[in-house]
């Protein structure tokens, strides 16, 4: 394995990180796993559609208005739904199956991926209309009313049911206590049964807050579906998010574990310490992974799965289950490659970053930082939205401090000491 970041020696004594990346790419890497290669083991032909539905943007192509309503209020913009959000699944999507998107990534973004991730094939992007002209199944992230039932890789009724928060109670694994609305103890966590991006979770401390919250959800947000009530678990140590791919055969491919972000330099939805990769996998395997696998197989599901577990000194509790390609899937695939091929075992993904720069300038700044050879910034998406340029990016380095340093360089355009 090539060691390019040995601190006691001047970086000038080594080839640049860019050169190391390009040299490594000359030989195929067993660790450069793509989303398409995982899907291809189960479906000879398929498309991947990474756009999520909305029930609050009527002009949006994947507007779920009746059968598969989703709570995504306040909703993100149509640009975010069409380009920004789905784009951060593409860097490690591969070319095994085409990706369907209303708007494909800009050329400068694809060039950025090719420069820093040459072991990953360039993604093939087609329009949703092209994907609807044949009988090839579409792997979606949710049930979509705009896609015929027989085009979903799994029947949309099943997919919608499995993604309901209430379905978590059917998994034979420990969960926090759920309560009836007429017999609540406070504080409690209110969860909308089908929501997006954490918008459906509300902490209520008393009956007055509960009434106000329900009034907001029903009257202001127009949600008339089910809500759940869950006890609040005290003295939480951490809430890791685990991800695996469940094949039709029952075989599991473990992607990895992400932990909540560092304090002091912005929110991050995924921090990875690859030295703890196997430890976390073993921590939840018997008590959570196996029951989740059995539950999903029983209902005919195959594909990527993300689940979250609260860890306390008293026990572990399953608090979320998402049978779909997750927002951290690409990061975890890249994290494995960076850790095993380049020994960059610490990484983080930073989402919803606002810039005064243009998307091209964001890419140029990442490229400049990478050429210094101190680690790697991979921009997963960068696009102009109604409120300015927004980006999602992953950082890979030797230590958490180096991840922190690169984050500040990227956001402030200056090196931290």
Per-residue HEC secondary structure of 36-64 comes to: HHHHHCCCCCCEEECCCCECCCCCCCCEC
**Residue 192 pLDDT greater than 70, yes or no:** yes
Do 240 and 219 reside in the same domain of the chain?
A: no
Does some domain include residue 266? yes
Do 285 and 351 reside in the same domain of the chain?
A: yes
Residue 302, pLDDT score: 98
**Residue 325 pLDDT greater than 90, yes or no:** yes
Angle at Cα 57 formed by Cα 56 and Cα 58, nearest 5°?
105
**Residue 13 pLDDT greater than 50, yes or no:** no
Residue 8 or 282, more confident = 282
Residue 84, pLDDT score: 86
**Residue 7 pLDDT greater than 50, yes or no:** no
Q: Is 205 exposed, middle or buried (0-12, 13-18, 19+ CB in 10 A)?
A: exposed
| Whether pTM exceeds 0.75 | yes
Do 222 and 251 reside in the same domain of the chain?
A: no
Residue 417, pLDDT score: 30
Residue 413, pLDDT score: 57
Residue 384, pLDDT score: 86
Does some domain include residue 42? yes
Taking only the tens place, the pLDDT of each residue in 93-150 is 999 999 999 999 999 999 999 999 999 999 999 999 999 999 999 999 999 999 999 9
Do 70 and 198 reside in the same domain of the chain?
A: no
Do 254 and 395 reside in the same domain of the chain?
A: yes
Do 274 and 133 reside in the same domain of the chain?
A: no
Residue 219 is part of which domain span?
Answer: 177-231
Taking only the tens place, the pLDDT of each residue in 211-229 is 999 999 999 999 999 999 9
Do 104 and 156 reside in the same domain of the chain?
A: yes
pLDDT over 90 percentage in the chain: 79
Choose the final residue of a domain: 136, 162, 188: 162
Does some domain include residue 12? no
Find the mean pLDDT for residues 338-362.
91
Do 48 and 153 reside in the same domain of the chain?
A: yes
Choose the final residue of a domain: 162, 188, 222: 162
Residue 3, pLDDT score: 32
Do 212 and 294 reside in the same domain of the chain?
A: no
Find the mean pLDDT for residues 292-314.
97
Does some domain include residue 290? yes
Choose the final residue of a domain: 162, 197, 219: 162
Residues 6+ apart with CB under 8 A from 319: 168, 175, 176, 230, 239, 308, 309, 310
Residue 27, pLDDT score: 55
**Residue 233 pLDDT greater than 90, yes or no:** yes
Residue 255 or 11, more confident = 255
**Residue 2 pLDDT greater than 50, yes or no:** no
Q: What is the CATH number of the domain that holds 396?
A: 3.30.470.20
Do 187 and 224 reside in the same domain of the chain?
A: yes
Tally of domains within the chain: 3
Q: How far apart are CA 294 and CA 238, in angstroms?
A: 26
Residue 265, pLDDT score: 42
């Amino acid at each position: 394995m090539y060691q390019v970041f040995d601190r006691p020696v001047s970086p000038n004594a080594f080839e640049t990180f860019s050169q190391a990346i390009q040299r490594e790419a000359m030989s195929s890497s067993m660790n450069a796993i793509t989303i398409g290669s995982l899907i291809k083991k189960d479906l000879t032909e398929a498309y991947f559609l990474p756009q999520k539905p909305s029930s609050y943007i009527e002009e949006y192509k994947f507007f779920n208005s009746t059968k598969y309503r989703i709570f995504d209020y306040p909703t993100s913009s149509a640009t975010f739904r069409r380009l920004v959000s789905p784009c951060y699944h593409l860097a490690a999507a591969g070319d095994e199956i085409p990706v369907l998107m209303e708007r494909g990534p800009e050329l400068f973004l694809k060039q950025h991926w090719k420069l820093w991730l040459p072991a990953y094939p360039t993604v093939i992007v087609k329009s949703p209309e092209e994907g609807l002209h044949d009988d090839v199944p579409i792997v979606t992230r949710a049930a979509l009313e705009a896609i015929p039932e027989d085009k979903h890789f799994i029947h949309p009724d099943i997919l919608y049911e499995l993604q309901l928060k209430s379905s978590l109670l059917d998994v034979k694994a420990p969960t926090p206590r759920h309560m009836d609305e007429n017999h609540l103890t406070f504080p409690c966590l209110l969860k909308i049964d089908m929501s997006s991006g954490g918008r459906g979770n509300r902490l209520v401390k008393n009956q007055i807050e509960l009434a106000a919250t329900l009034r907001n959800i029903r009257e202001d947000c127009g949600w008339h579906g089910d809500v759940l009530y869950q006890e609040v678990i005290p003295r939480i140590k951490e809430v890791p998010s685990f991800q695996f791919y469940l094949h039709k055969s029952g075989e599991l491919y473990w992607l990895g574990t992400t932990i909540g972000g560092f304090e002091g330099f912005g929110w991050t939805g995924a921090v990875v310490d690859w030295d703890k990769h196997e430890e976390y996998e073993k921590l939840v395997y018997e008590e959570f992974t196996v029951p989740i696998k059995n539950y999903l197989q029983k209902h005919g599901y195959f594909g990527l799965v993300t689940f979250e577990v609260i860890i306390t000194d008293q026990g572990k509790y399953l608090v979320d289950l998402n049978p779909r390609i997750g927002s951290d899937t690409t990061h975890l695939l890249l994290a494995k490659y960076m850790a095993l091929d380049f020994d960059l075992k610490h990484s983080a993904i930073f989402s919803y970053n606002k810039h005064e720069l243009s998307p091209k300038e964001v890419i140029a700044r990442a490229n400049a930082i990478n050429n210094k050879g101190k680690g790697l910034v991979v921009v997963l998406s960068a696009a102009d939205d109604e409120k300015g340029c927004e980006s999602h990016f992953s950082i890979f380095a030797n230590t958490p401090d180096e991840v922190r340093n690169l984050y500040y360089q990227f956001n402030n355009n200056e090196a931290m000491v």
